Amino acid sequence: LNPSGRFVIGGPHGDAGLTGRKIIIDTYGGWGAHGGGAFSGKDPTKVDRSGAYIVRQAAKSVVASGLARRCIVQVSYAIGVPEPLSVFVDTYKTGKIPDKDILVLIKESFDFRPGMISNNLDLKRGGKFRYQKTAAYGHFGRDDPDFTWETVKILKPKA
């Protein structure tokens, strides 16, 4: 059941258990969906944080590119498996093209592997102090150069 193999590291070295702080407020205030994993207390290698950031960027890019008025992108992972188990998109019937075509564009434009998310969004820049800004007013919807996941990529469907 555990694709990463035998789990033998326990205690604070394996998991500090310092997360769970106000996930609803940190994300969409109950309006949008979230996976339930908290961000605060986790470094960018944890997909609870980095996965939420990359799907935020992907969904914003769909809307900013005029492909839909609303969009949610979901991704799921297994421990120790770099490629996501699934990537899903739903435009709530507001898409200008079919959701399956938007999904193809998203998969071509974004690398959902945790290590690449960290690299592509430059999540390790500035160390832990970079994330202190997220302690007030949440992780999303800010015009701040440290919030690299708020930058959109223009997505263009193939003709």
Q: Domain segments of the chain: what residues?
A: 20-133
Successive 10-residue mean pLDDT values, the chain, 159 residues: 69 59 59 67 82 95 98 93 96 98 98 95 82 80 90 92
Q: Structure pTM? A: 0.82
DSSP for 94-154, written as a single string: --SS-HHHHHHHHHHH---SHHHHHHHTTTTTTGGGGGGGGGTT-SSS---TT-GGG----
CATH number of 20-133: 3.30.300.10
CA atoms of 61 and 115, how far apart (whole Å):
21
115 vs 79: CA distance, rounded Å: 13
